[in-house]
Amino acid sequence: MENWYLINKIENYNKIKDKKNITSFQKILLANRDITDAYKIDSIFNSNIDNLHSPLLMRDMQKGVDVLFDSMMKNEKIMISGDYDQDGVAATVILYKGIKLFYENVLYSIPDRIEDGYGLNKNIVDDCIENNVKLIITCDNGIAAFEAIDYAKKNNIRVIVTDHHEVVNIDGVDNLPNADAVINPHRMDDDYPFDDICGAVVAYKFIDAIIELYGKNIGLEKKSIYFLLQFAMLGTVCDMMKIVDENRIIVIEGLRLINKTNNIGIKSLLNEIKWEKPVDIYTVGFLIGPIINASGRIYTAKLGVELFLTDNIDEANTYSKTLVELNDERKEMTQKSVELAIENIEYENIHKNDIIVVYDSSIHESICGLVAGRVKDKYNKPTLILTDSSNEGILKGSGRSISAYNMFEKFNNFRDEFVAFGGHAMACGLSIEKEKLKSFNEKIQLDSNLVEDDFNKSIDLDYCLNFKNIDKNLINQINELSPYGYGFSEPIFASKNVFVRDIFLLGKDKNVLKIKFEQDGILLDAINFRIDEILDKLEINIDDIYIIKNKNYDIVYKIGENTFNGYTSIQLNLISMR
């Protein structure tokens, strides 16, 4: 069953109802997204790079910069230790390019997902010892690298942690690694005004702090590092940070920069996928991000880093071609694994549990998170997918959750069960001894506190509209609040009792649904690219689709436009109907 809820945040609306130069309709949309304070509103209507929060508000930021400069004064070799996803790649590129503006003796390292696992580890530290590295700077990792950091310190290597992942909290106290500086906005003692930033943004803040503190000494000003914001934007969108507060400024500026970029790697990748339109959040989140992530999943994330670092067009084209091929391979692997997981779930009735837990040795550990996400979407239940790791007797897995279940907090109650664990409310990664999986599964089922209604899919509606209110002026008001993305979702509307005037099945495979709706004499076209979902909601099959013609339905949709043969018309993007 699917629930539709009309959002009604009247308290939020009352806080902003007297704001000038914002329409009442826009105030409703902002209130529905909890946008009420002046800074967040200003970041929407007057996005300005000068309004980014000062990096020096972050705990240990100055300490970290001073450690870096002390290392530079000693002409020490510096290692940037990144991560294998898009955020980690972007953060690595930011630190590497940023520091290289004024210091040459810099290396970078990305862990192998299979051999090393997540984050800074003993293998990377051993490489640092062998290469006489005296300072390690982590990015998008490090907050839970206790053993690796202790090992580095014992070998006279200093460590600066820059990370954005949740801090391990024990009895109300942060458990921080023994690094020389720990820069993470999630620290309990951190006064930074906005903690929902990605690893790439924390890395950018570190470079920004260098310029703020010592820019004059090294001959650099703030505008000299603005080009790095395109990579901060990539991390923000691909790591699904909320597009609010300063993230909004970063995304807007980053998109502006990437659309006129001089980065050979970015241009080569866009050319390889034949993308000729302006780059937007969709391009980044659904095309660029998965392609970069694919290399870290089934080969090495260094490909992504090298793509963004190279100045050689032939190298860039080779990297781009390889990355796209890897992503195609990843898609095929994921589809097969999802089908196997669902078959297993249905056969063993695992979907009847509050938490779906699947162990399947045939699933490649690099795609456990992707499979978990697809399974979670199908059943709308928290899902954990596990497979064998390279260490005998140890399973590795990834979890994806629903809004009613804070996976990090819930699983953290059983932290002692894990070999390794990390994550946040909606996702996690873990390693566990195979013999402990059964008891762990039993414990999380008993501790779920979920009720049946939590598993019902729901749609939050911004407004119930009559077709006569849908016009160019309304579309302009919606567009003025763009870009939309995670945490600042595109508006969703409903209309009641609309008449199905005509139906068309489009595309080579007839899997695109177009419906001509009518209400009060006004005709509007609607399009849907997931016809199976509409069929499920209507409880009919494709052969019976035409029985809905000449009947009335309530519909849910987003409002867009379609341009064909030079003519632009309003088009609804159909989400649901009943």
The stretch 555-574 carries a mean pLDDT of: 93
Strand partners, 516: 502, 525
Average pLDDT over the chain reads 94
Over residues 267-312, the pLDDT tens digits come to: 999 999 999 999 999 999 999 999 998 888 777 889 999 999 999 9
The stretch 204-214 carries a mean pLDDT of: 97
Lowest mean pLDDT among 2-11, 87-96, 162-171: 162-171
Distance from C-alpha of 205 to C-alpha of 203, rounded to nearest angstrom = 5
Distance from C-alpha of 19 to C-alpha of 44, rounded to nearest angstrom = 14
- Can you read off the two tokens belonging to residue 57? 């508000």
Q: Is it the case that residue 391 has pLDDT exceeding 90?
A: no
The stretch 146-154 carries a mean pLDDT of: 97
- As to burial, measured by CB atoms within 10 angstroms (0-12 exposed, 13-18 middle, 19+ buried), residue 392 is exposed
Q: Is it the case that residue 76 has pLDDT exceeding 90?
A: yes
Over residues 37-72, the pLDDT tens digits come to: 999 999 999 999 999 999 999 999 999 999 999 999
The stretch 428-436 carries a mean pLDDT of: 94
Residue 223 CA: distances (Å) to CA of 207, 208, 255, 311, 522: 12, 10, 16, 21, 51
Distance from C-alpha of 5 to C-alpha of 492, rounded to nearest angstrom = 11
Going edge to edge, which strands form the sheet with 106-109? Answer: 106-109, 77-81, 133-139, 158-162, 181-183
Q: Is it the case that residue 114 has pLDDT exceeding 70?
A: no
The stretch 406-417 carries a mean pLDDT of: 92
The stretch 544-561 carries a mean pLDDT of: 95
Distance from C-alpha of 223 to C-alpha of 225, rounded to nearest angstrom = 5
> What confidence score (pLDDT) does residue 119 get?
83
The stretch 331-347 carries a mean pLDDT of: 95
Q: Is it the case that residue 113 has pLDDT exceeding 80?
A: no
The stretch 72-96 carries a mean pLDDT of: 96
Residue corresponding to tokens 């902002």: 30
Closest listed residue to residue 317, CA positions, set 262, 272, 258, 263: 272
Share of the chain above pLDDT 70, in %: 99
The stretch 413-418 carries a mean pLDDT of: 92
From its phi and psi, is residue 355 left (phi > 0), alpha (psi between -120 and 50) or beta? beta
Do the Cβ atoms of 537 and 577 come closer than 8 Å?
A: yes
Give Cβ neighbours of residue 408 (< 8 Å, ≥ 6 apart): 166, 423, 424, 425, 428
> What confidence score (pLDDT) does residue 228 get?
98
> Which amino acid is present at 420?
A
Give Cβ neighbours of residue 376 (< 8 Å, ≥ 6 apart): 356, 382, 383, 400, 401, 402
> What confidence score (pLDDT) does residue 116 get?
67
pTM across the whole model: 0.89
**Cβ burial 438-465 (10 Å sphere, 16+ → b, else e):** eebbeebeeebebeeebbeeeeebbbeb
DSSP 8-state assignment for residue 232: H
Going edge to edge, which strands form the sheet with 418-424? Answer: 356-359, 383-388, 394-400, 427-433, 418-424
Do the Cβ atoms of 175 and 167 come closer than 8 Å?
A: yes
> What confidence score (pLDDT) does residue 166 get?
87
Q: Is it the case that residue 117 has pLDDT exceeding 90?
A: no
Q: Which domains does the chain have, with CATH numbers?
A: 2-39+458-577 (2.40.50.460), 55-222 (3.90.1640.30), 349-454 (3.10.310.30)
> What confidence score (pLDDT) does residue 296 get?
80
Distance from C-alpha of 22 to C-alpha of 471, rounded to nearest angstrom = 18
The stretch 489-494 carries a mean pLDDT of: 97
Give the confidence band of 111 by pLDDT, cuts at 50, 70, 90: confident
Alpha helices in 312-429 (DSSP H): 313-347, 368-379, 407-412
> What confidence score (pLDDT) does residue 426 get?
87
